[in-house]
Amino acid sequence: MKSLHALFKPPSSPTKTTTSSSSTATTASKTRKPATSSSSSNAPIPSPNPPEITTTISKTSENKPKSSLSALFIPPTTPTEAHFISLIHGSKTILQLHQIHAQIIIHNLSSSSLITTQLISSSSLRKSINHSLAVFNHHKPKNLFTFNALIRGLTTNSHFFNAIFHFRLMLRSGIKPDRLTYPFVLKSMAGLFSTELGMAIHCMILRCGIELDSFVRVSLVDMYVKVEKLGSAFKVFDESPERFDSGSSALLWNVLIKGCCKAGSMKKAVKLFKAMPKKENVSWSTLIDGFAKNGDMDRAMELFDQMPEKNVVSWTTMVDGFSRNGDSEKALSMFSKMLEEGVRPNAFTIVSALSACAKIGGLEAGLRIHKYIKDNGLHLTEALGTALVDMYAKCGNIESASEVFGETEQKSIRTWTVMIWGWAIHGHSEQAIACFKQMMFAGIKPDEVVFLALLTACMHSGQVDIGLNFFDSMRLDYCIEPSMKHYTLIVDMLGRSGQLKEALRFIERMPMNPDFVIWGALFCACRAHKKTKMAKFALNKLLKLEPTHTGNYIFLSNAYAALGQWEDAERVRVLMQNRGVHKNSGWSCIEVEGQVHRFVSGDHDHKDSKAICLKLEEIMAGAVKQGYIPGTEWVLHNMEQEEKEDVLGSHGEKLALAFALICTSPGMTIRIVKNLQVCGDCHSLMKYASKISQREIMLRDMKRFHHFKDGSCSCRDHW
């Protein structure tokens, strides 16, 4: 790929972009076969003869759907520019646009600059960039309007490099850019994070004398914000004479406030907000969103309460903010309050609420939201369909997830990935692989995330050979270079199946240096298979690596404790305290009658705490009679045996189980969500509890779903 700087060096000869659609258009121009009056499955194409056009449409319009080309516009006797522009604006699909384009060529109007500009814009709007390029390349002579339409379309569709290439072609052609050109060129520079070229464009703007144009100035501030040059953004802002004009400066202020929030400079953002001549709703929402993204939901809530007038954007910002910051219950509470206030949520609000349901396993809340979507006639878009599939899968109802997936007409690669992940975390590898095959038949090219889902499915089901085949296929068939996450899954997969030597050989052949997680996966596998010698080898490798985040410290401490090296475990914990590293608290959630209850280890704050403890004692006594032995080896602290048993008995998932058995009807499935990985002792007790209570228990931990039924688990004790 050429460097960005090379774009401004004149090439030896001009380059043109050609596509299949251009050759189709050329063929149509050459043949010009007259149209017949017979109907077809596509929208009818008028013939060159104007009377026949009218006749064809009148004969078929009654039987054609409203979206067909014939229903858009009944042409006059002699088609004009205005007629075709009206058709272009009324087209619903890219196929209709191609048909209109063919008629434009037939009627010798393809040289019209106005029509060409509209074709480029409409094709870009429908994400058909190849068609936009074909139209542009076949139009002569090119002018400012066609270049602006193409550069805008390329930028809007994130083809930033190509946009800059055509800007350079524009300069070579001797066409002077205007105030509508530079904003999209600046956006492309920001998209490529090209600071130097962005500054070069700024110089060009100054030479052209359009730096005071409000559209250009906002784009300059936005570009500097996105390339993380906040100082330059402030300089442009301070030089803006209209910044204190309450009628037109709000966008300029909002862009800079958003930039300060993105950089974490909340004091500067607040200072700007207070100095604004006029605070619009979007200004309030921008600052609220900034506090939310910086983890300060208290300040976000304070600002929200102070808003003079709340709208769907401000409500959505709060719902999304609470969901992103781990307070899913509050997010759902805000969503319910929003509905009570009579504010109609948009698609993004609903997606944020569904995400909150997915995080805590709020199936009943998710069902109510799905009902709201149906009752209000909301179209199942790609975003809504994907969010529903994700919610159902993570709440334990994989069948409903599959059903919604089938109903979602517009499936993106994310939709397919979410469905494959859903099958994977439920341990259904065959369905995950079948879904992958369907995706391939649909013409969707897989990415690295899809392969992570497939490898996860193979890992949970113990299908090592198939997993290794997928790993090789990434590089050989799809030219996707595996990341550290892909290598970790292979090591984990080999380790779980007991192929420890193969796992070690795989690590030694890695093209990159193994990280903390790789050696951690090998250590866990060795511990599970009681291979102490190799476990100590993996631990020694871990010791040579500096822990990079909280999880590494905790893992290292637990690894020492698992080997009985209590002094070393305590040394790591002291190191964590000295470095200000804090362990994330474990919790378990369960939803009963639409209300989510959260439990932590040793929790005695619940209103039904006494009844829960009594029920848990009853469960454990019954399990002991069936052969359950408390797994005190899972207590990673140096204490007496009796103390270890007490600690095990108060784990959050056990408290959630006891509460569910008290508050739900006999035979009802119990769904528990845990934010960390379930320990071996809790896993063992759940199996006994499912047999004693004759209940199906679904436990979702940070890695997968465990379906407990009749004393066994779907993971076959490999997790």
What is the DSSP code string of 607-666? TTHHHHHHHHHHHHHHHHHTT----GGG--S---HHHHHHHHTT-HHHHHHHHHHHHS-T
Residue 492, Cα to own-chain centre: how many angstroms? 25
Residue 41 has pLDDT above 50, yes or no: no
Residue 168 has pLDDT above 70, yes or no: yes
Least reliable range by pLDDT among 45-49, 68-72, 322-326, 418-422: 45-49
pLDDT band per the 50, 70, 90 thresholds, residue 393:
very high
pLDDT score recorded for residue 527 = 79
For tokens 């730096």, name the residue. 211
pLDDT band per the 50, 70, 90 thresholds, residue 2:
very low
Q: Which residues contact 426 (CB under 8 A, 6 or more apart)?
A: 393, 398, 704, 705, 707, 714
pLDDT score recorded for residue 45 = 33
Secondary structure percentages of the chain, helix, strand, coil, to 5: 65, 5, 35
Residue 289 has pLDDT above 50, yes or no: yes
Q: Which amino acid, residue 285? A: S
Crossing angle, helix 230-238 and helix 250-262, to 10 degrees?
Answer: 160
Residue 428, Cα to own-chain centre: how many angstroms? 23
| CA separation, residue 573 to residues 104, 546, 583, 636 (Å) | 74, 15, 10, 12
pLDDT band per the 50, 70, 90 thresholds, residue 583:
low
Contact call for residues 417 and 405 (beta carbons, < 8 A) = no
What is the DSSP code string of 100-133? HHHHHHHTT-TT-HHHHHHHHHHHHHTT-HHHHH
Cα gap 12→549, rounded to integer Å: 51
Least reliable range by pLDDT among 297-306, 473-482, 603-612: 603-612
pLDDT score recorded for residue 676 = 86
Sign of CA dihedral 142, 146, 148, 152: negative
Contact call for residues 563 and 637 (beta carbons, < 8 A) = no
Q: Which helix (H) or strand (E) holds 708?
A: strand 705-709
pLDDT band per the 50, 70, 90 thresholds, residue 581:
low
Q: 0.75 cut: is pTM over it?
A: yes
Best mean pLDDT range from 200-209, 592-601, 648-657 = 200-209
Residue 446 has pLDDT above 50, yes or no: yes
**Residue 10 vs residue 278, higher pLDDT:** 278
pLDDT score recorded for residue 562 = 65
Dump pLDDT digits (tens) for 254-284.
999 999 999 999 999 999 999 998 888 999 9
Six-digit token string for 283: 């200004």
| Closest alpha carbon to 259 in 214, 299, 293, 216 | 293
Least reliable range by pLDDT among 487-496, 505-514, 552-561, 657-666: 552-561
pLDDT band per the 50, 70, 90 thresholds, residue 65:
very low
What is the DSSP code string of 169-237? HHHHTTPPP-TTTHHHHHHHHHHTT-HHHHHHHHHHHHHHT-TT-HHHHHHHHHHHHHTT-HHHHHHHH
Mean pLDDT for 407-428 is: 95
For tokens 């410290």, name the residue. 553
Q: Which residues contact 245 (CB under 8 A, 6 or more apart)?
A: 277
Mean pLDDT for 192-198 is: 92
pLDDT score recorded for residue 159 = 95
Cα gap 127→142, rounded to integer Å: 22
% of the chain surpassing 90 pLDDT: 62
pLDDT score recorded for residue 550 = 67
**Residue 68 vs residue 193, higher pLDDT:** 193
Six-digit token string for 582: 């804090």
Mean pLDDT for 665-692 is: 91
For tokens 């993570």, name the residue. 394
Crossing angle, helix 129-137 and helix 94-106, to 10 degrees?
Answer: 10
Dump pLDDT digits (tens) for 220-252.
999 999 999 999 999 999 988 877 776 667 889
Q: Where are the alpha helices (DSSP H) in 408-549?
A: 413-425, 429-441, 448-461, 464-478, 484-496, 500-508, 516-528, 532-543
- Computed over every residue of the chain, the mean pLDDT equals 84
pLDDT score recorded for residue 225 = 94
% of the chain surpassing 70 pLDDT: 82
Six-digit token string for 363: 């199936």
Cα gap 517→703, rounded to integer Å: 14
Contact call for residues 650 and 602 (beta carbons, < 8 A) = yes
Contact call for residues 398 and 423 (beta carbons, < 8 A) = yes
Mean pLDDT for 127-145 is: 93
| Closest alpha carbon to 515 in 488, 495, 535, 540 | 488
**Exposure letters 506-534 (e unless 16+ CB within 10 A, then b):** bbeeeeeebebbbbbbbbbbbbbbebeeb
| Closest alpha carbon to 672 in 687, 689, 647, 655 | 655
Dump pLDDT digits (tens) for 619-675.
999 999 999 887 655 444 434 444 444 444 578 899 999 999 999 999 999 999 999
Report the side by side order of strands in the sheet with 670-674: 595-599, 588-592, 670-674, 697-700, 705-709, 712-713
| Closest alpha carbon to 390 in 364, 366, 365, 368 | 366
pLDDT score recorded for residue 388 = 98
Cα gap 166→251, rounded to integer Å: 28
Q: Parallel, antiparallel, or unpaired: how do β-strands 697-700 and 670-674 relate?
A: parallel
pLDDT score recorded for residue 563 = 65
Q: Which residues pair with 482 in a beta bridge?
A: none
pLDDT score recorded for residue 549 = 62
Cα gap 435→417, rounded to integer Å: 9
